[in-house]
Amino acid sequence: MDDLYATHDALAVADLVKTRKIGKRELLDATLAGLRTANASLNAITDFYDGALLEKSVAAAGDGPFEGVPFVVKQLMADCAGTPTTVGSRFFAHQPVAAADSAAVACMRRAGLVIVGRSNTSEFGLAPTTEPAFGGATKNPWGPTLSPGGSSGGSAAVVAARALAMAHATDGGGSIRIPAALCGLFGLKPSRGRISMAPLGETLAGAGAQLCVSLSVRDSAALLDALAGGEPGDPYVAPAPEGSFLAATRQRPKRLRVAFMRRPVGGTALDPQLVAAVEATAALLADLGHVVEEASPGYDAEAHGIAFGTVMAANTWTNIQNRANGRVPGPDDLEPVTRLSAEAGRAVTAHDYIRAVQTFHRTGRVLGAFFERYDVLLSPTLGRVSLPLGEVRMDGTLEAYQETLAPMVAFTSVCNATGVPAMSMPLAWSRDGLPIGLHFVARYGAEETLFALAAQLEEARPWRDRRPAGGGRP
């Protein structure tokens, strides 16, 4: 059982269970032991299930495609019955336990996943790193001084360390794709409304989404098959795919029209390593028969940034008020930047908020027109090669936080604002041997296009054997 997840993805592990080559309890016990060992150095799991809670989780798991596969759920945007959802905040550490699973978590259980714990996140998911004051910093298996990114850094760290095959992740501005890029994993943010956020309504004016980070493309596709679909009363429902997302990974993509970017829209020049990674990937795509040319959508990046900040701040204030049930945060209950963001959100007027949402929609129109000409847009996932721990500070000014946030979301957040699907793939490596994520965006509802392309690139430039020194384990 040692190193099982280095050689098997989640679907392969489930197949071992289904064919009785591995017992469910044997798999569960071995995985939990490995997770605890990895967590001693990574600090990626905030809560391990044990006793009656673990047994309920085992009993709730169905016989779906991931039968018996252990899994962790991020402490943000998803409730698990019987446990609190802390959103990475000291203020909500003693929140009442959830009475029921959120819709997506219920689907995870029906798919066969055995939820064994909750993974670390930045407070309210605001930071593109995972270093909350409550719970402490998660380390990247690729280096003890490096951040795994955020806000899904806890999930990404344990998968990168090969302690799990995949783990739940959420994405409000890049929080699936940022840690996927920094940890050498596959991460896809689905289209708006592809997975229900119930019992929540919309999140961040429709910018929020969830799925996972994974070692293989097909695991993410199969999980999306299991989670996709709406709940009664959902504000958005993405158009149904032509087939299954897993089936898309088994098909060669059609000849795609691919645009690539060497710098962010309205942004400055990038590190030459990132430019080289884009150029090499563009050349690979051309070799695979796709039509590739340099082009970028002409949206107003400054207006988008202002609008995104407005929506994020207003939601931070409102979410704190909704969850607090009348409690008032004390001076040490929230991180300084979270408090400053909430205070800024409190001052947002209805006029400000509506204008911000209208900016989201205008930007979506620009991207919609762009994807009439192109099938896919390629860029780096991030505007930097790596992220040292301690560089994104949540104990300083809002201005300093925004300055360090900007390069982390330069390519990702526009996809959240406009609702289009996007994925990060570890197709290049830095001079220091660190993974570099390449970012692929498609038109709204076109996850099948991305999965077919991802499977083709995974075959052409595999990454499963590229792993942290020592397996990222202590």
Catalytic center residues: 74, 151, 175
Q: How many Å apart are CA 381 and CA 385, to the nearest integer?
A: 10
Q: Residue 13 half-sphere exposure, CB side, CA atoms within 13 Å?
A: 33
Length of the chain: 474
Count the helix, strand and coil residues of the chain and give each as a percent rounded to the nearest 5.
40, 15, 45
What is the Cα 73 distance to its own chain's centre? Answer: 12
Please state whether beta strands 45-48 and 70-74 pair in parallel, antiparallel, or not at all (unpaired): unpaired
Dmax over CA atoms of the chain, in Å, equals 61
For the CA atoms of the chain, what is the radius of gyration?
20
Burial class from Cβ neighbours inside 10 Å (0-12, 13-18, 19+) for residue 275 reads middle
Q: Tell how many helices (H) and how many strands (E) occur in the chain.
A: 16, 11
Give the count of beta carbons closer than 10 Å to the beta carbon of residue 350: 8
Dig out the tokens for 445 from the structure: 């509802």
Q: How many Å apart are CA 285 and CA 258, to the nearest integer?
A: 8
Residue 302 φ/ψ, nearest 5 degrees: -65, -45
Q: Which of 220, 186, 141 is nearest to 467 (CA)?
A: 141
Q: How many Å apart are CA 362 and CA 359, to the nearest integer?
A: 5
Q: How many Å apart are CA 155 and CA 148, to the nearest integer?
A: 9
What is the Cα 216 distance to its own chain's centre? Answer: 14
Q: What is the DSSP letter of 300?
A: -
Provide the residue type at 315 as one letter.
N
Please report which helix (H) or strand (E) contains residue 427, including its range. strand 422-429
What is the Cα 306 distance to its own chain's centre? Answer: 23
